[in-house]
Amino acid sequence: MIVNRTVLTLDEFTIRQLRNFPQATGELSNLLRDIGLAAKCVNDEVNKAGLVVILGETGSINNQGEEVKKLDLFANDQLIGVLRHCISCAGIASEELEDFLSFDDVVSRNSKYICLFDPLNGSANIDTNISIGTIFSVYRRVSEKGKACILEDFLQTGIHQIAAGYIIYGSSTMLVYATRLGVNGFTLDPSIGEFTLSHPDITCPDSGKIYTVNHGNFLQFSEEVKKYIESCQQQSFSERYVGSMVADLHRNIIKGGIFLYPATIDKPEGKLRLLYECNPFAFIMEVAGGRATNGSQRILDIRPTALHERTPFFAGSKNMMDTLESLLLPS
Protein backbone atom coordinates (compact mmCIF):
# COMPACT_ATOMS: atom_id res chain seq x y z
CA MET A 1 0.00 0.00 0.00
CA ILE A 2 1.48 3.40 -0.94
CA VAL A 3 0.90 5.96 1.81
CA ASN A 4 0.48 9.38 0.25
CA ARG A 5 1.99 11.67 2.89
CA THR A 6 1.74 15.22 1.54
CA VAL A 7 1.64 16.67 5.05
CA LEU A 8 4.97 17.04 6.89
CA THR A 9 4.93 17.25 10.67
CA LEU A 10 7.44 19.44 12.52
CA ASP A 11 9.41 16.34 13.56
CA GLU A 12 9.51 14.96 10.00
CA PHE A 13 10.60 18.35 8.66
CA THR A 14 13.42 18.91 11.16
CA ILE A 15 14.68 15.36 10.67
CA ARG A 16 14.67 15.85 6.88
CA GLN A 17 16.69 19.06 7.43
CA LEU A 18 19.35 16.88 9.06
CA ARG A 19 20.20 15.57 5.56
CA ASN A 20 21.79 18.99 4.89
CA PHE A 21 24.13 18.44 7.84
CA PRO A 22 25.56 14.88 7.79
CA GLN A 23 27.54 15.65 10.95
CA ALA A 24 24.40 16.81 12.81
CA THR A 25 23.49 14.94 15.98
CA GLY A 26 19.74 15.62 15.81
CA GLU A 27 19.88 17.60 19.05
CA LEU A 28 18.38 20.71 17.45
CA SER A 29 15.52 18.62 16.02
CA ASN A 30 14.91 17.23 19.52
CA LEU A 31 14.96 20.71 21.00
CA LEU A 32 12.46 22.07 18.47
CA ARG A 33 10.21 19.04 19.01
CA ASP A 34 10.28 19.69 22.77
CA ILE A 35 9.47 23.38 22.34
CA GLY A 36 6.57 22.27 20.13
CA LEU A 37 5.38 19.92 22.88
CA ALA A 38 5.43 22.69 25.49
CA ALA A 39 3.60 24.97 23.02
CA LYS A 40 0.81 22.39 22.63
CA CYS A 41 0.35 22.33 26.41
CA VAL A 42 0.31 26.14 26.56
CA ASN A 43 -2.11 26.28 23.63
CA ASP A 44 -4.51 23.97 25.44
CA GLU A 45 -4.49 26.22 28.51
CA VAL A 46 -4.66 29.50 26.56
CA ASN A 47 -7.71 28.20 24.71
CA LYS A 48 -9.43 27.66 28.07
CA ALA A 49 -8.42 31.12 29.37
CA GLY A 50 -11.89 32.49 28.82
CA LEU A 51 -13.22 29.72 31.04
CA VAL A 52 -10.98 30.61 33.98
CA VAL A 53 -13.83 32.60 35.48
CA ILE A 54 -15.93 29.40 35.48
CA LEU A 55 -13.04 27.26 36.65
CA GLY A 56 -11.92 29.77 39.26
CA GLU A 57 -9.98 33.03 39.07
CA THR A 58 -6.24 32.98 38.56
CA GLY A 59 -4.55 32.13 41.84
CA SER A 60 -7.68 30.41 43.12
CA ILE A 61 -8.48 26.67 43.27
CA ASN A 62 -10.69 25.42 40.44
CA ASN A 63 -13.44 22.83 40.75
CA GLN A 64 -10.91 20.07 40.09
CA GLY A 65 -9.11 21.27 43.18
CA GLU A 66 -6.18 22.53 41.06
CA GLU A 67 -4.55 25.90 41.56
CA VAL A 68 -5.36 28.20 38.62
CA LYS A 69 -1.97 29.68 37.62
CA LYS A 70 -1.25 32.93 35.84
CA LEU A 71 -0.87 31.85 32.23
CA ASP A 72 2.55 33.48 31.95
CA LEU A 73 3.81 31.35 34.82
CA PHE A 74 2.01 28.31 33.48
CA ALA A 75 3.72 28.76 30.10
CA ASN A 76 7.06 29.30 31.82
CA ASP A 77 6.62 26.10 33.85
CA GLN A 78 5.68 24.11 30.75
CA LEU A 79 8.79 25.22 28.83
CA ILE A 80 11.11 24.62 31.78
CA GLY A 81 9.48 21.26 32.54
CA VAL A 82 9.97 19.99 28.98
CA LEU A 83 13.45 21.45 28.38
CA ARG A 84 14.78 20.27 31.74
CA HIS A 85 14.00 16.67 30.78
CA CYS A 86 15.05 16.81 27.12
CA ILE A 87 18.55 15.85 26.00
CA SER A 88 19.41 19.01 24.11
CA CYS A 89 19.26 21.96 26.51
CA ALA A 90 21.81 22.82 29.22
CA GLY A 91 19.90 25.75 30.63
CA ILE A 92 17.43 28.55 30.01
CA ALA A 93 16.75 32.24 30.62
CA SER A 94 13.21 33.54 30.70
CA GLU A 95 11.32 36.79 30.95
CA GLU A 96 9.68 35.24 34.01
CA LEU A 97 12.98 34.47 35.83
CA GLU A 98 15.31 37.08 37.33
CA ASP A 99 18.39 34.93 36.65
CA PHE A 100 19.24 32.14 34.20
CA LEU A 101 18.61 28.52 35.18
CA SER A 102 21.30 25.88 34.60
CA PHE A 103 19.83 22.34 34.55
CA ASP A 104 21.88 20.30 37.01
CA ASP A 105 21.50 16.70 35.77
CA VAL A 106 24.36 15.02 33.89
CA VAL A 107 22.51 14.72 30.55
CA SER A 108 21.52 18.40 30.51
CA ARG A 109 25.01 19.50 31.52
CA ASN A 110 26.39 17.60 28.51
CA SER A 111 23.93 19.30 26.12
CA LYS A 112 25.28 21.83 23.68
CA TYR A 113 22.37 24.28 23.41
CA ILE A 114 20.86 26.89 25.69
CA CYS A 115 17.47 28.55 25.23
CA LEU A 116 16.00 31.97 26.03
CA PHE A 117 12.29 32.65 25.86
CA ASP A 118 9.42 34.94 26.58
CA PRO A 119 6.91 32.27 27.60
CA LEU A 120 3.75 34.28 26.95
CA ASN A 121 4.33 37.62 25.25
CA GLY A 122 1.40 40.04 25.13
CA SER A 123 -0.38 38.15 27.91
CA ALA A 124 -2.27 41.30 28.94
CA ASN A 125 -4.35 40.65 25.81
CA ILE A 126 -5.63 37.28 27.01
CA ASP A 127 -8.81 38.61 28.64
CA THR A 128 -9.85 40.34 25.39
CA ASN A 129 -9.13 37.25 23.28
CA ILE A 130 -6.38 38.91 21.23
CA SER A 131 -3.59 36.72 19.81
CA ILE A 132 -0.58 36.21 22.08
CA GLY A 133 2.62 34.25 21.67
CA THR A 134 5.71 32.44 22.91
CA ILE A 135 9.10 33.61 21.63
CA PHE A 136 12.28 31.49 21.75
CA SER A 137 15.95 31.77 20.86
CA VAL A 138 18.58 28.98 20.69
CA TYR A 139 22.37 29.33 21.01
CA ARG A 140 25.29 26.93 21.31
CA ARG A 141 26.64 27.29 24.84
CA VAL A 142 30.10 28.90 25.08
CA SER A 143 30.86 27.26 28.45
CA GLU A 144 32.40 23.78 28.75
CA LYS A 145 30.04 20.84 28.22
CA GLY A 146 29.65 18.76 31.37
CA LYS A 147 29.67 21.85 33.57
CA ALA A 148 26.93 24.24 34.66
CA CYS A 149 25.96 27.09 32.31
CA ILE A 150 27.43 30.53 32.88
CA LEU A 151 25.96 33.98 32.27
CA GLU A 152 28.05 34.43 29.10
CA ASP A 153 26.13 31.52 27.53
CA PHE A 154 23.07 33.79 27.54
CA LEU A 155 24.73 37.13 26.72
CA GLN A 156 25.84 36.24 23.20
CA THR A 157 25.23 38.65 20.32
CA GLY A 158 22.12 37.76 18.34
CA ILE A 159 24.11 36.87 15.22
CA HIS A 160 25.21 33.67 17.03
CA GLN A 161 21.66 32.32 17.28
CA ILE A 162 21.38 28.77 15.91
CA ALA A 163 17.59 29.03 15.66
CA ALA A 164 14.82 31.40 16.71
CA GLY A 165 11.07 31.25 16.52
CA TYR A 166 7.68 31.92 17.96
CA ILE A 167 4.34 30.27 18.54
CA ILE A 168 1.26 32.43 17.87
CA TYR A 169 -1.92 31.44 19.70
CA GLY A 170 -4.42 33.02 17.32
CA SER A 171 -7.24 32.03 14.97
CA SER A 172 -5.03 28.98 14.52
CA THR A 173 -1.93 28.05 16.49
CA MET A 174 1.27 28.31 14.49
CA LEU A 175 4.91 27.57 15.24
CA VAL A 176 7.31 29.56 13.05
CA TYR A 177 11.07 29.03 13.31
CA ALA A 178 14.17 30.14 11.47
CA THR A 179 17.60 28.64 11.04
CA ARG A 180 20.13 29.93 8.52
CA LEU A 181 18.45 27.60 6.02
CA GLY A 182 15.18 29.55 6.09
CA VAL A 183 11.96 30.39 7.90
CA ASN A 184 9.17 27.80 8.01
CA GLY A 185 5.68 27.88 9.52
CA PHE A 186 3.76 24.95 11.01
CA THR A 187 0.06 25.05 11.85
CA LEU A 188 -1.25 22.91 14.69
CA ASP A 189 -3.65 20.29 13.37
CA PRO A 190 -5.83 19.47 16.41
CA SER A 191 -7.12 16.31 14.71
CA ILE A 192 -3.66 14.70 15.00
CA GLY A 193 -2.13 16.97 17.67
CA GLU A 194 0.84 17.80 15.43
CA PHE A 195 2.35 20.99 14.02
CA THR A 196 2.21 20.45 10.24
CA LEU A 197 4.14 22.39 7.59
CA SER A 198 1.74 25.02 6.23
CA HIS A 199 4.03 27.97 5.34
CA PRO A 200 7.26 26.63 3.77
CA ASP A 201 10.14 29.05 3.14
CA ILE A 202 8.52 32.24 4.47
CA THR A 203 9.99 35.43 3.00
CA CYS A 204 9.16 39.02 4.00
CA PRO A 205 8.17 41.17 0.96
CA ASP A 206 10.78 43.88 0.23
CA SER A 207 8.07 46.54 0.56
CA GLY A 208 4.73 46.85 2.28
CA LYS A 209 1.92 49.25 3.08
CA ILE A 210 1.53 48.52 6.79
CA TYR A 211 3.21 50.44 9.60
CA THR A 212 2.90 49.26 13.20
CA VAL A 213 3.43 51.66 16.10
CA ASN A 214 1.67 52.76 19.29
CA HIS A 215 0.49 56.22 18.24
CA GLY A 216 -0.22 57.03 21.88
CA ASN A 217 3.52 57.62 22.24
CA PHE A 218 3.80 59.83 19.16
CA LEU A 219 4.56 63.07 21.04
CA GLN A 220 7.41 61.29 22.86
CA PHE A 221 9.16 60.13 19.68
CA SER A 222 12.22 61.81 18.14
CA GLU A 223 11.58 64.26 15.30
CA GLU A 224 13.08 61.76 12.82
CA VAL A 225 10.71 58.97 13.90
CA LYS A 226 7.78 61.39 13.69
CA LYS A 227 8.88 62.30 10.13
CA TYR A 228 8.94 58.64 9.13
CA ILE A 229 5.45 58.00 10.57
CA GLU A 230 4.13 61.10 8.77
CA SER A 231 5.66 59.78 5.50
CA CYS A 232 3.70 56.55 5.97
CA GLN A 233 0.51 58.60 6.46
CA GLN A 234 1.25 60.70 3.36
CA GLN A 235 1.50 57.45 1.37
CA SER A 236 -1.81 56.29 2.87
CA PHE A 237 -0.21 53.21 4.42
CA SER A 238 -2.46 51.31 6.85
CA GLU A 239 -1.63 51.58 10.55
CA ARG A 240 -2.11 48.19 12.21
CA TYR A 241 -1.29 47.79 15.92
CA VAL A 242 -2.52 44.86 18.03
CA GLY A 243 -0.21 45.57 20.98
CA SER A 244 0.95 41.96 20.88
CA MET A 245 4.46 41.77 19.38
CA VAL A 246 4.10 38.21 18.06
CA ALA A 247 0.81 39.00 16.29
CA ASP A 248 2.06 42.32 14.89
CA LEU A 249 5.37 40.95 13.62
CA HIS A 250 3.86 37.72 12.25
CA ARG A 251 1.45 39.76 10.13
CA ASN A 252 4.20 42.11 8.89
CA ILE A 253 6.58 39.23 8.05
CA ILE A 254 3.88 37.55 5.94
CA LYS A 255 2.35 40.66 4.30
CA GLY A 256 5.27 43.11 4.37
CA GLY A 257 5.38 46.15 6.63
CA ILE A 258 7.38 47.83 9.36
CA PHE A 259 7.17 47.51 13.16
CA LEU A 260 8.40 50.37 15.32
CA TYR A 261 8.87 50.45 19.07
CA PRO A 262 11.12 53.52 19.39
CA ALA A 263 12.71 55.03 22.47
CA THR A 264 10.36 57.49 24.20
CA ILE A 265 10.87 60.19 26.83
CA ASP A 266 9.42 57.79 29.43
CA LYS A 267 11.42 54.80 28.13
CA PRO A 268 14.72 56.16 26.69
CA GLU A 269 16.04 52.56 26.37
CA GLY A 270 12.84 51.46 24.65
CA LYS A 271 10.39 48.91 26.09
CA LEU A 272 11.12 45.63 24.30
CA ARG A 273 13.67 43.17 25.66
CA LEU A 274 16.78 42.54 23.56
CA LEU A 275 17.48 38.90 24.38
CA TYR A 276 14.10 37.17 24.16
CA GLU A 277 11.94 39.55 22.13
CA CYS A 278 14.12 41.56 19.72
CA ASN A 279 17.00 39.18 18.93
CA PRO A 280 14.74 36.25 17.97
CA PHE A 281 12.56 38.44 15.74
CA ALA A 282 15.61 40.19 14.27
CA PHE A 283 17.07 36.79 13.31
CA ILE A 284 13.78 35.60 11.80
CA MET A 285 13.29 38.89 9.96
CA GLU A 286 16.80 38.86 8.45
CA VAL A 287 16.54 35.21 7.34
CA ALA A 288 13.18 36.13 5.75
CA GLY A 289 14.87 38.99 3.84
CA GLY A 290 13.96 41.93 6.08
CA ARG A 291 16.03 44.05 8.47
CA ALA A 292 16.04 44.91 12.19
CA THR A 293 17.88 47.73 14.00
CA ASN A 294 17.75 49.78 17.18
CA GLY A 295 17.69 52.91 15.00
CA SER A 296 21.45 53.13 14.62
CA GLN A 297 22.80 49.58 14.96
CA ARG A 298 21.83 46.16 13.57
CA ILE A 299 20.00 44.35 16.43
CA LEU A 300 21.99 41.15 15.85
CA ASP A 301 25.26 43.02 16.40
CA ILE A 302 24.35 44.46 19.79
CA ARG A 303 26.53 43.02 22.55
CA PRO A 304 24.19 42.28 25.48
CA THR A 305 25.27 43.24 29.00
CA ALA A 306 22.25 42.05 31.01
CA LEU A 307 19.57 39.36 30.66
CA HIS A 308 16.62 41.75 30.75
CA GLU A 309 18.02 44.78 28.97
CA ARG A 310 15.72 46.73 26.69
CA THR A 311 16.27 48.28 23.27
CA PRO A 312 14.46 50.50 20.78
CA PHE A 313 13.30 48.16 17.99
CA PHE A 314 12.57 48.73 14.30
CA ALA A 315 12.00 45.69 12.07
CA GLY A 316 10.41 44.99 8.72
CA SER A 317 10.57 44.99 4.96
CA LYS A 318 13.98 45.88 3.56
CA ASN A 319 12.91 48.90 1.49
CA MET A 320 10.82 50.36 4.35
CA MET A 321 13.75 49.95 6.73
CA ASP A 322 16.03 51.68 4.19
CA THR A 323 13.63 54.66 4.08
CA LEU A 324 13.45 54.80 7.89
CA GLU A 325 17.25 54.67 8.21
CA SER A 326 17.69 57.41 5.62
CA LEU A 327 15.81 59.64 8.09
CA LEU A 328 17.38 58.30 11.29
CA LEU A 329 20.94 58.21 9.96
CA PRO A 330 21.26 61.12 7.51
CA SER A 331 24.42 60.56 5.40
Stretch of residues binding ligand P6P (CB under 6 A), selected from 120-128, 153-161, 169-177, 316-324: 120-128
Pairing of strands 113-121, 89-94: parallel
Q: Residue number with the shortest CB distance to ligand P6P?
A: 245
Q: Three-state SS for 158?
A: helix
What are the C-alpha distances in Å from 26 to residues 51, 109, 161, 166, 215? 39, 17, 17, 20, 45
Please, which residues bridge with residue 206 across strands? none
User: What's the rounded Cα separation, in Å, for the pair 280 and 3?
Assistant: 37
Residues 28-87 that bind ligand P6P (CB under 6 A): none
Measured distance CA(292)–CA(314) in Å, rounded: 6
With respect to ligand P6P, which residue has the nearer C-beta, 55 or 130?
Answer: 130
For residues 246 and 239, give the distance between their C-alpha atoms in angstroms, rounded to a whole number: 16
List the one residue from 173, 244, 252, 317 that touches ligand P6P (CB under 6 A). 244
CA distance 44 to 47: 5
Per CB under 6 A, the segment of 8-16, 117-125, 141-149, 188-196 that binds ligand P6P is 117-125
What is the 3-state secondary structure of 244-265? CHHHHHHHHHHHCCEEEECCCC
Q: Which positions from 250 to 279 touch ligand P6P by CB under 6 A, shown as an x/- string?
A: ---------------------x--------
Interacting positions 302-321 with ligand P6P (CB under 6 A): none
C-alpha triplet 256, 262, 264: angle, nearest 5°: 155
Q: How many C-beta neighbours within 10 Å does residue 231 have? A: 14
| Rounded Cα gap, residues 174 and 155, in angstroms | 28
Considering the complex, state which of residue 174 and residue 245 has its C-beta at the smaller distance from ligand P6P: 245
Tell me the window of 99-107, 119-127, 184-192, 231-239 that interacts with ligand P6P (CB under 6 A): 119-127
The span of 83-91, 107-115, 203-211, 240-248 binding ligand P6P (CB under 6 A) equals: 240-248
Nearest distance in Å: CB 206, ligand P6P: 23
Where does this chain touch ligand P6P (CB under 6 A) — which range of 1-9, 80-88, 242-250, 316-324? 242-250
> Which of residues 250 and 271 has its CB atom nearest to ligand P6P in the complex?
271
Per-residue binder mask for ligand P6P (CB under 6 A), 121-160, x = binder: xx-x------------------------------------
Looking at 33-41, 57-65, 237-245, 292-300, which segment touches ligand P6P (CB under 6 A)? 237-245
The answer to whether 245 contacts ligand P6P (rule: CB under 6 A) is: yes
294: contact with ligand P6P by CB under 6 A: no
Tell me the C-alpha distance between 70 and 63, whole Å: 17
Ramachandran category for residue 256: left, alpha or beta (phi over 0 → left; psi -120 to 50 → alpha): left
161 binds ligand P6P (CB under 6 A): no
214 sits near ligand P6P (criterion: CB under 6 A): yes
Sign of CA dihedral 286, 292, 296, 298: negative
The least distance separating ligand P6P from the CB of residue 121, rounded to whole angstroms, comes to 5
Q: Which residues bind ligand P6P (CB under 6 A)?
A: 121-122, 124, 214, 243-245, 248, 271
